[in-house]
Structure 1
């Protein structure tokens, strides 16, 4: 038997008349009658008692009725679910991010907007070291990730450029630099730079000042970097989005005079993404940020 046999059976059971059931199914009454006979032959039992005007269920037909309803209902659910998965309306996404994506608010805004539109797509969102996140996406352990660019990416991984922002200087509040009315790149020549995961800001500031930076430790995420500053281990060039979000004792944030250094957040993803739900997320971000640059 096929699913159509259960549909035909249910139509006759509900209408209690072959002609009305055939009209509902948009088939000829003799065709419907033959299909029911084939079903009865396959089961080895009568399903209907046939009268002149109406039919009624036999005991076997009454036993089959709730099972047939459940079978058709489950089939239709499976069919709809497969179609929705193919359209990216259901599924699961593994998302990795670096801390500055949270400080900027971009991660929260985009995840919430996507979840409102595709409520049945589940997301697992985890912070990840930026140095390894692109490789994890290439390997399939994450589907998408938010990183701070510019950075090199593995073969097969692309980036959608998001919002750009400048840098500020994180400095201990008892440092001599705090006595200056304004801090320029040239004032940092003899300072030790605590390095965040994205070091482009540090290198750009040093290049602006015309010197090679004295590089200190690279402790990890931005909170760890600013903690090192609070311990007096050096200064740090950090994204301006941390101001107002990361407050640690003994640390001040100061602008760097005439600093032209900037970076931007990127959504990184596999170039030929096949999972419909993941592709939906990427397409939505691209619509918000139509320029696509690594």
Structure 2
């Protein structure tokens, strides 16, 4: 017995008329009769009482009609869900991110916009260390990664810049360089001890401009942990300036770095040849994001500057 047998039976049961049902199904009356007889043979039960003037359901036919309708309704739901999944309208996406992507607001922006567009797709998010994100993406354990660059990418992974920021300094409040409101030149940092976050691009550029090799005393991991160690007087840190807008710790002062801005970028990473429709929909949204319009979740006209003193 297959689906066409069920549909034929339900149609006859609802019409109680073989000729009309055959026309509705696009079958000849003999073909429809043969299908019903095949169902009755398989069930070993008579489903219809049929005379020259009327057709009616037997008790077995009434019982079978309830289950046949339920089966067809479930099939229709399955087909509907399958088609929606094929268009990426249902399913799940897994996003891995580093903390600064959430600090900057790009994680919230991407997730909210995607949920608004595809409300039946489940979006799962989880924070990971930077060095784990690319392998997780390659292994298929996450679908998109939000990272702070630079990150070494294998050929199978593509990227798109979501937001740009600039680096600045975080210093203990009693540090001598924290006592001046002027920008700090990289050369003035040559003898400092540094607390370094996962992404050390800013510090490397400061050392290059100041012509010194940074003395790193701690690498605690997250940006919050970095600022905590600065507050404890462990050292100074080169950090994304977005933190000056959202994290104010006692005993931490922020200062700008003199000279051209040292750029910090947040990128989305994704598989170059993605096949899942749900993930392709998210990637399409990401590719439409213009990093030039982003400054901590606001248009670029709202500039981020490191405050001259700890507020």
TM surpasses 0.5: yes
TM-score (norm 1): 0.92
**C-alpha distance 49-237 of structure 1, shift in aligned 2 (>3 A):** same
Aligned-partner SS, 2:267: strand
- How far apart are 1:201 and its partner, in Å? 0.9
- How far apart are 1:226 and its partner, in Å? 0.5
Aligned-partner SS, 1:131: helix
Aligned-partner SS, 1:119: coil
TM-score (norm 2): 0.87
Aligned residue for 2:227? 226
Contact between 1:47 and 1:59, CA under 8 Å: does it hold in 2?
Answer: yes
- How far apart are 1:120 and its partner, in Å? 2.1
User: 2:265 matched to 1:264?
Assistant: yes
Q: How well do the aligned residues superpose, as a CA RMSD in angstroms?
A: 1.9
Contact between 1:49 and 1:57, CA under 8 Å: does it hold in 2?
Answer: yes
Aligned residue for 1:215? 216
What CA distance in whole angstroms lies between the structure 2 residues aligned with 1:97 and 1:113? 17
- How far apart are 1:78 and its partner, in Å? 1.8
Aligned-partner SS, 1:115: helix
Aligned-partner SS, 2:163: strand
Matches within 5 A, 1:35-114: 35-114=35-114
- How far apart are 1:133 and its partner, in Å? 1.5
**C-alpha distance 149-69 of structure 1, shift in aligned 2 (>3 A):** same
Matches within 5 A, 1:273-288: 273-288=274-289
Deviations 1:177-235 (Å, cap 9, x if unpaired)?
12223122222222222111111111112222233222231110100111111011111
What CA distance in whole angstroms lies between the structure 1 residues aligned with 2:50 and 2:185? 96
What CA distance in whole angstroms lies between the structure 2 residues aligned with 1:122 and 1:19? 48
- How far apart are 1:290 and its partner, in Å? 9.4
Aligned residue for 1:30? 30
- How far apart are 1:64 and its partner, in Å? 0.1
What CA distance in whole angstroms lies between the structure 2 residues aligned with 1:24 and 1:54? 18
Deviations 1:160-188 (Å, cap 9, x if unpaired)?
22211111211111111122231222222
Give unmatched runs, 5+ long, in structure 2. Answer: 293-311
What CA distance in whole angstroms lies between the structure 2 residues aligned with 1:52 and 1:40? 20
Contact between 1:225 and 1:236, CA under 8 Å: does it hold in 2?
Answer: yes
Give unmatched runs, 5+ long, in structure 1. Answer: none
Aligned residue for 2:167? 167
What CA distance in whole angstroms lies between the structure 2 residues aligned with 1:259 and 1:51? 95
Contact between 1:184 and 1:256, CA under 8 Å: does it hold in 2?
Answer: yes
**C-alpha distance 171-110 of structure 1, shift in aligned 2 (>3 A):** same
- How far apart are 1:51 and its partner, in Å? 3.7
Contact between 2:164 and 2:291, CA under 8 Å: does it hold in 1?
Answer: no
Aligned-partner SS, 1:217: strand
Paired positions, count: 291
